A = this chain, B = another copy of it.
Amino acid sequence: MDIAFVLYDKFTALDLVGPYETLAGNPAVTPHFVAAGRGTVRCDSGLPIQPTTTFAELDRPDVVVVPGSSAWRTALDDEELVSWLAAVHPNTTWTTSVCTGSLLLAKAGILTGKRATTHWTVREVLGELGVEVVTDRVVFDGKVVTGAGVSAGIDMGLRLAAELWGEEVAKMIQLLLEYDPQPPFDTGSPEKADPALLAAALKG
């Protein structure tokens, strides 16, 4: 099973590495780190990742994982990226995104008329792209799976692992990742954070 982990300038590392860590360790998986070119791709806080293949070379991935980016506006103008997503989607088993990655799926026409989630700060933007926006942390609609902001990719990856290989395998992955989270604060969603923190977050 070929899984395409999609790289582009200034993507958010954890958006990608959450699903990667839940999926890529399975012996059935051949992971591909795919970008427009072979040059090193820098994440939005500086982590440099080396692509292993290019959009031109990888045309039939079984699963696609699209991370978001704090520079999502620029990413939406990346025609090579968006048109590759549109081209490979018809032949995937699963097409997935984390965080603002759902905006890229929407731009590629993959979410038209579908239910999807995204990072809480861009829910309106996703709606304007013709998508039925859901505030759930992970949303399945047919073969398209979307996760909410950044860390939601771990939850999405585990749920996808359960679909791909069954619940017992997914439970084992969760145990091996010791995923028994203890968030230090109760500010992980806009519904929980207090108004002052929310306002400061939206101000950037």
- Interface residues of chain A, those whose CB is within 8 Å of chain B, are 5, 12-14, 17-18, 20-21, 24-25, 31, 33, 40, 44-52, 99, 119-120, 137-138, 148-152, 154-155, 158-159, 162, 167-168, 170-172, 174-185, 187-190, 192-193, 197-198, 200-201
CB distance from A156 to the nearest CB of B (A): 9
CB-based contact A188/B180 at 8 Å: yes
Given A148-B178, A177-B151, the answer on whether A200 and B185 have CB atoms closer than 8 Å is no
A159 to B176, CA, bound (A): 22
Task: From known contacts A21-B12, A192-B180, infer whether A49 and B52 are also in contact, taking CB-CB under 8 Å.
Answer: no
Chain B residue at smallest Cβ distance from A70: B25
User: Copy number in this complex?
Assistant: 2
Q: Are B178 and A155 in contact (CB under 8 A)?
A: no
A24 to chain B, nearest CB (A): 4
A162 to B119, CA, bound (A): 23
Q: Are A137 and B185 in contact (CB under 8 A)?
A: no
- What chain B residues lie within 8 Å of A176 (beta carbons)? 149-150, 201
Q: How far is the CB of A23 from chain B (nearest CB, A)?
A: 8
Q: Are A175 and B201 in contact (CB under 8 A)?
A: yes
CA–CA, A33 to B179, complex, Å? 25
Give the residues in chain B near A180, CB-CB below 8 Å. 137, 183, 188-189, 192
Apart from the given pairs A13-B20, A159-B184, A176-B201, 11 other A-B contacts in the complex at a CB distance below 8 Å: A14-B177, A17-B17, A46-B52, A148-B178, A149-B177, A152-B178, A172-B200, A174-B184, A175-B188, A178-B188, A181-B183
Question: Once the chains bind, are B190 and A183 in contact (CB under 8 Å)?
Answer: no
* Top 9 closest pairs, chain A to chain B, by CB: A149-B178, A180-B188, A48-B50, A24-B45, A14-B21, A181-B181, A17-B17, A180-B189, A179-B188
